[in-house]
Structure 1
Amino acid sequence: MEGKNSQGKLLIGHDDCNTSQNESLEEIVAERLNRRDLMKLSAGFIGTAFFGSFMAGCNQDDSTTTTSAAAATALLSFTPVSKNLNDALTVPTGYTAKVLYRVGDPIKLGTADYVNDGTDADFDSRSGDCHDGMKYFGLKADNSGYDTTNSTNGLMCINHEYINQNYLHTVAEVAAINNAARVPSQVDKEIAAHGVAVIKVSNTGAGFALDKTSGYNRRITAATPMHLQGVAAGSAYMITPYSTTGTDTRGTVNNCANGYTPWGTYLTCEENWNGYFKCDTRTGKEAVAFSRYGLKTTSRYGWESVYTQWLATITGADATADYRNVPNTYGYVVEIDPFHPTSTPVKHTAMGRFAHEGCWPAKATVGKPVVFYMGDDSKGEYIYKFVSTQNWDAADATGGLTAGAKYLDSGTLYVAKFNANGSGNWLKLDISETAIADYTIYDFADAADVAIHSRIAADAMGATRMDRPEWGGVHPTTGEVYMTLTNNSDRGKSGKYGLDPANPRYYTDTYDTTTTNKGNVNGHIIRWKETGGEPSATTFTWDIYLFGAQSVVDAGGDDAYYQANINVSGLTADNDFSSPDGLWFSEVSKGLMWIQTDDGAYTDTTNCMLLAALPGSVSDGATTNIISLAVPTHGTTDETVTTYVGAKPTTTKLKRFLVGPVECEITGITETPDGKAIFVNVQHPGEDGTTTALTSHWPDFGTARPRSATIVITKNDGGVVGI
């Protein structure tokens, strides 16, 4: 998340920290035909000649379950929303969108209404900033606990990823902010505006509203006590003055995407946590680790000038005397029990430490392990899977954090390798693996070291470097897994990442007729099916479901070349998009998938958006050759990559459902159990404005400062949303 771009916005936390020499699949395939040679051959012939025999074997369905995605029989019945640059939220005719929960809104009685001029405080009892991933949990009518069927009374868990300092403080304060010497009252506000909110929402007939009287309402912030559990808890790496036993820490930050568990708890994920700490220069192993995780001698907000918790420097005799180790306590999947408001959130170290975008469960099956899929949202990072040691027992369905300890504190962490022939392998990240135990770049000491430095362990195993893995989702009928690869300006760049079948595009795109973007500008969505239909399998088959692109080539380009090699999925004006970010499957409308964008490359034409899709299944398309012109990694020679592309979507299978206001990101989505209401987050509208030059006034309009907000969308006829 927080996707910035080449038009002057800063890509915070998505730096290229992967300097491993893991081979690109281009080096395996060695396909380097130039454009003149390629034009002599048909794409179909090339694909068959070089890869037909591989695909005939690896793409055969060896599953014992049906993997046809035809389960979603309903069509997308709404009229597509047109692209636009309006400072408004646009939904299809026949739908209504209502603002439910905005930055600063009180969540408890006695908290004053939000003034929205920078003077507000008390964010421990208000909505935080920059709404992101979220989940609706049905609540029993008597408010006594979890009810998976209640669509009018529920708890919402909502991430508050980061803050917009411009709008959180007064005009004078913003002008005076100096990260080297922060004011405690300002830092307290910023710390409290991070994290997660649990709020009760009810629909008594007039639409959903926040219930400020509920005892379930609470904020979990960057100062909230947290337990550390799993393989790294209690290790020497976790010792701080706050917890000399290494079993606790404080706070969660940069909570981007999310997940949930079969036992009724919420998972929030720490993404760009590395920027919150001011670090010193380390030597040896620590120098390798700090570089690999992007830890620097400067911090994002300067909180360390007020609270030493954010100062990761060696000043004392050992780790009990300073916070040298505190970054090791961040970068995890955090479990929250929304139904027990006094419970302490848990960071599960066995699930790895990286820029966790989200954590998405496969369907739990009695007698089999519980499986979660995760992305590491930075350039050239990896896709992971966690497989529990314990097999699922339906008796744990309401087990809360006790069940979380059972299934999430012991298991195997894997990283994905996408092979050139369309197959894939899950590589085990374990100290017993020779590649990890003998890795010369970093000397792993034990299992805790592997968990804390899982990025480096993935380097050692030779995982495939991807184009910023963001949100994922598991198809509720087929079990196939989808994950967005939002973009990568370093793909194909000289000295960076070469092209490969899983990340096959390098091209030039013009923004606003003046700026040129290069690399994988618009992103794509990859998908895979596990061998035998088993989520815990160690092999899989993959293809690319969808490529982001604008429907019409920029002025002056070669239209035929563009449509074949950049707009590979054949997008039209009704469904073209850029930078897929959020991705989520409806449990009600089986097979209905929602795609959200966080873009900067197409925002000269349209604001960010939400699309509805009815995807097919892995291998429903064709082997395809993509030509990239003048690729810098090859000294500006052309390059051809053979890859595997899903069937081109028609406008009945992919439509634009929503366009957001100016300079926003569309993110976070959940639904009521009956599917008749969906909740969507609009993050950082007007993010490029200042307190003296606002670029958006959404959602309050007039002269108001913009505010991130959760909206609820319903169909005017009372039907299921989207179909």
Structure 2
Amino acid sequence: MTERASQPAAHRHDDDVFCNESDNPTFDSILGARLSRRGLLRGSAGLFAGSVLGPVLAACSDDDDPVAGFKWNAVAKSTADALTVPAGYSARVLYRLGDPIDAATPTSANNGTDTGTSFAARAGDHHDGMHYFGLGASGAYDATNSTRGLLVMNHENITQLLLHPAGATTPRPADQVIKEMNCHGVSVVEVTRTGSTWTYTRGGNYNRRITTNTEMILSGPAGGSNQLKTKFSTNGTRTRGTVNNCANGYTPWGTYLTCEENWAFYFKRAAGDNANRSAAEVTALNRNGITQGAAGNYGWTTVTPGDAADTNFARWDATKVGTSTDGTDDFRNGPNTFGWIVEIDPFNATSVPKKRTAMGRFAHEGCFVAPPVVGQPLVFYSGDDSRGEYCYKFVSTALWSAADATGGMAAGDKYLDAGKNFVCKFNADGTGSWIELTLGTNGITSASTVYPFADAADVLINLRLAADVAGATKMDRPEWSAINPKNGDVYFTMTNNSVRGSVAQPMDAANPRYYTDNRGTTVQRGNNNGHIVRLAPSGGNHAATTFTWDIYLFAAQATADTAANNADYQANVNLSGLDDTNDMSSVDGCWFSQATPGLLWIQTDDGAYTDVTNCMMLAALPGNVGDGGAVTVANKAVPQGAGGATVDVTVTTRMGKKPEPTQLRRFLVGPKGCEITGIAETPDGRTIFVNIQHPGENTTAAQLTAGTPESVWPDGSGARPRSATVAITRDDGGKIAVD
């Protein structure tokens, strides 16, 4: 997610998060057949057909010359309220906000009147990361099934104004807050293809909503820690719910990983609370953005008359109000039960999700596994999506055995409850290292002047602080990561950073750009459009602690705002030489196809370039780390703190080979106000699923009252906009994007 300057405080996105004040430099095929127990939950009720895009779906002309390697022509930039795909492709809406997942829940009115409790059985809001799991006739996992499967997706956040008849009211009514809570979390829905049309199975036995109310186990080494004890779980082994689920992952044993990103902003903490907390507690709370006086997103704690019996609303108040020494009589430790990787078994609708504490706590943006190798540990990559945060990886203690490919959650216990976390340090010469984040290593001790780590659980709960101590490189909002199955290169998207170039976050080789450009009348500064960094693990071993790296792509608009500045712009901003067929801003999602190895999808969540085009998705055929060379970036008029002084700053970095239009081009442009995020594909590569998040999110209360929201996608004229999943197919039945 990206900041939107026009949004109220409760809706602000990731680029507003700035909690790092440290001085640091800145395989589905392996899954096989599932356990037969997974066939017990099979069958379906009546099919509920998703809406066709109809009049708001546009197709591009074929004026461009065809390009070798791609089976489509570049989609033009657009600010239309439409989802545009190439000619020869069709996109159909499959699963929208409010769509019921069971037979008992009525079809959504999409006018704010659906009850809050009904959303426990409806599609949530802000569809995000997702994965497709093939489903065989027996009900077991089938890694080859491209016509029937389980689609599992995150619901990251809400567009609060559009959820209620006339927006949110205060003090918050209980039903409104219950609706908002239920609109977060995860959906599991069975999907089926008939011909070229996908539908989801309304009433399917696998269908499930996981929300902020779903009970979960705090599994792994931090489970039971004093810092995880609450009034709800006095032994610190359980919690309720998951929230702000952004990117995702999946495991070699066929379970789904959902990642808790900006969970901190849901919590209230009263003014004056610092006086009742230890110095270490205050440091940890501040490092995660839960400062005293924080009101909490959406005011969930303000519900009256409240629910003293089950504390469903009060649990979002992290203020110390009890008298216990361990937090068992209040929710002072409530925030510590969020910020984790959560494992879900989509093939067992009654299973209890587990928060895997061994993998550490921060604002997780995805959790992507490297291709497993028998006899080697499993390696998962994750970004921490905030300005100046870090890239991480988790290396399992257990060595991979192919016999565990049908292990379900028991395999998760084996591989995800024990291991080591590492944080990334980029060197200026194109090398880098993964620094271990374990108690007693790299300055992570009780004697640390940054934060006194009490025990191993404390390190996991406060992994950001451990990374500060270890000297990780501050990055420009690390978002998704992806591993190229052709060569093992690891990609991290850096969405943008409005404070890059400041005294706190000066340029470095891995984050080398500062520039100014315009969005309408607004002057933007920093690394406005973002970039993509890629790493080559030493010896091709993902568990290695060293690597080489370069910058695969610098996102930018094709030309400067003014012609007089264009020469300098091309030399020092549009370093990758993007043109009108592939320029972009705020790179966010990235994902490698498994059906077409080497095909990379790039998605944007843009607030910097939306005066020119809505958010988009592009396809790329990248090379290898080191296929380019050194480049020097001449950054002009970089501020030097207070007083208005500026200085030119030159930075040398490593950049990949400039992508040609034959290797990078725009595939899709979304409707107004949306983010393009989340992608999954069928094993045959003939369908991709894409999420259109928060169309019309800039709608004002006056526009809602007048019936003229910013967007009417996907339902058309007179309808409120809503997030939705679309299924994209090629009209000739071929594989997506390639010959």
Q: TM-score, normalised by structure 2?
A: 0.89
Q: Shift of the alpha carbon at 1:496?
A: 2.4
Q: C-alpha distance in 1, partners of 2:717/2:635?
A: 47
1:334-373 alignment runs, 5 A limit: 334-373=342-381
Letter in 2 for 1:372: F
Q: C-alpha distance in 2, partners of 1:213/1:164?
A: 26
Letter in 2 for 1:111: T
Which residue of structure 1 aligns with residue 3 of structure 2?
Answer: 4
Q: C-alpha distance in 2, partners of 1:206/1:537?
A: 44
Moved more, 632-641 or 307-316: 632-641
Which residue of structure 1 aligns with residue 592 of structure 2?
Answer: 585
Q: C-alpha distance in 2, partners of 1:661/1:710?
A: 13
**2:286 pairs with 1:285:** no
Q: Shift of the alpha carbon at 1:8?
A: 5.7
Q: 1:295 aligns with which of 286, 290, 299?
A: 290
Which residue of structure 1 aligns with residue 190 of structure 2?
Answer: 200
Equivalent pairs counted in the alignment come to: 666
Q: Shift of the alpha carbon at 1:77?
A: 2.6
Q: Shift of the alpha carbon at 1:559?
A: 1.4
Which residue of structure 1 aligns with residue 734 of structure 2?
Answer: 719
Q: Shift of the alpha carbon at 1:182?
A: 1.5
Contact 1:136 1:671 in 2 (8 A): yes
Which residue of structure 2 aligns with residue 618 of structure 1?
Answer: 625
Q: Shift of the alpha carbon at 1:75?
A: 1.0
Find runs of 4+ consecutive structure 1 residues off by over 6 angstroms: none
Percent identity over the alignment is 56
1:171-320 alignment runs, 5 A limit: 171=166, 173-174=167-168, 177-178=169-170, 181-280=171-270, 281-282=273-274, 283=277, 284-296=279-291, 297-306=294-303, 307-318=313-324, 319-320=327-328
SS of match in other structure, 2:570 = helix
Q: C-alpha distance in 2, partners of 1:543/1:182?
A: 49
Q: Shift of the alpha carbon at 1:286?
A: 0.8
**2:496 pairs with 1:487:** yes
**2:603 pairs with 1:604:** no
Gapped regions of structure 2 (runs ≥ 5): 27-66, 304-312
1:50-449 alignment runs, 5 A limit: 75-121=69-115, 122-142=118-138, 144-171=139-166, 173-174=167-168, 177-178=169-170, 181-280=171-270, 281-282=273-274, 283=277, 284-296=279-291, 297-306=294-303, 307-318=313-324, 319-437=327-445, 438-449=447-458
Letter in 2 for 1:459: D
Letter in 2 for 1:555: T
Contact 1:102 1:708 in 2 (8 A): yes
Q: Shift of the alpha carbon at 1:13?
A: 4.4
Letter in 2 for 1:342: T
Letter in 1 for 2:466: A
SS of match in other structure, 1:309 = helix
Contact 1:13 1:274 in 2 (8 A): no
Q: C-alpha distance in 1, partners of 2:266/2:383?
A: 20
Letter in 1 for 2:256: Y
Q: C-alpha distance in 2, partners of 1:74/1:262?
A: 34
Q: C-alpha distance in 1, partners of 2:532/2:161?
A: 33
1:461-540 alignment runs, 5 A limit: 461-493=470-502, 495-512=503-520, 514-540=521-547
Q: C-alpha distance in 1, partners of 2:195/2:561?
A: 48
Contact 2:688 2:729 in 1 (8 A): yes
Which residue of structure 2 aligns with residue 27 of structure 1?
Answer: none
Q: Shift of the alpha carbon at 1:204?
A: 2.4
Contact 1:578 1:597 in 2 (8 A): yes
Gapped regions of structure 1 (runs ≥ 5): 25-72
CA separation of 1:8 and 1:167: change in aligned 2, threshold 3 A = closer
1:688-707 alignment runs, 5 A limit: 688-690=698-700, 691-692=704-705, 693-707=708-722
Which residue of structure 1 aligns with residue 62 of structure 2?
Answer: none
SS of match in other structure, 2:665 = strand
Q: Shift of the alpha carbon at 1:556?
A: 4.9
Q: 1:637 aligns with which of 633, 641, 647?
A: 647
Contact 2:6 2:698 in 1 (8 A): no
Moved more, 689-698 or 337-346: 689-698
Contact 1:490 1:497 in 2 (8 A): yes
Q: C-alpha distance in 1, partners of 2:431/2:287?
A: 28
Q: C-alpha distance in 2, partners of 1:616/1:169?
A: 48
Moved more, 11-20 or 675-684: 11-20
CA separation of 1:385 and 1:502: change in aligned 2, threshold 3 A = same
Q: Shift of the alpha carbon at 1:316?
A: 1.4
Q: 2:565 aligns with which of 539, 558, 566?
A: 558
Q: C-alpha distance in 2, partners of 1:295/1:223?
A: 21
Letter in 1 for 2:13: I
**CA distances 1:623-663 after superposition (whole Å, capped 9, x unpaired):** 00000001114841101000000000000000000000001
Contact 1:506 1:519 in 2 (8 A): yes
Q: Shift of the alpha carbon at 1:511?
A: 1.1
Which residue of structure 1 aligns with residue 48 of structure 2?
Answer: none
SS of match in other structure, 1:77 = coil
Letter in 2 for 1:4: E
Q: Shift of the alpha carbon at 1:167?
A: 0.8
Q: C-alpha distance in 1, partners of 2:14/2:513?
A: 23
Which residue of structure 2 aligns with residue 50 of structure 1?
Answer: none
Which residue of structure 2 aligns with residue 37 of structure 1?
Answer: none
Q: C-alpha distance in 1, partners of 2:395/2:649?
A: 38
Q: C-alpha distance in 2, partners of 1:317/1:299?
A: 23
SS of match in other structure, 1:372 = strand
Contact 2:196 2:729 in 1 (8 A): no
CA separation of 1:491 and 1:447: change in aligned 2, threshold 3 A = same
Q: TM-score, normalised by structure 1?
A: 0.91
Which residue of structure 2 aligns with residue 67 of structure 1?
Answer: none
Contact 1:6 1:517 in 2 (8 A): no
**CA distances 1:66-122 after superposition (whole Å, capped 9, x unpaired):** xxxxxxx97123100000100000000110000000000111112111101100120
Letter in 2 for 1:303: W
**2:672 pairs with 1:662:** yes
Q: C-alpha distance in 2, partners of 1:111/1:81?
A: 39
Q: Shift of the alpha carbon at 1:309?
A: 1.2
Contact 1:7 1:515 in 2 (8 A): no
Which residue of structure 2 aligns with residue 687 of structure 1?
Answer: 697
Contact 2:222 2:457 in 1 (8 A): yes
Q: Shift of the alpha carbon at 1:301?
A: 1.2
Moved more, 362-371 or 203-212: 203-212
Which residue of structure 2 aligns with residue 544 of structure 1?
Answer: 551
Moved more, 366-375 or 425-434: 425-434
CA separation of 1:499 and 1:21: change in aligned 2, threshold 3 A = same
Contact 1:76 1:655 in 2 (8 A): no
Contact 1:431 1:450 in 2 (8 A): yes
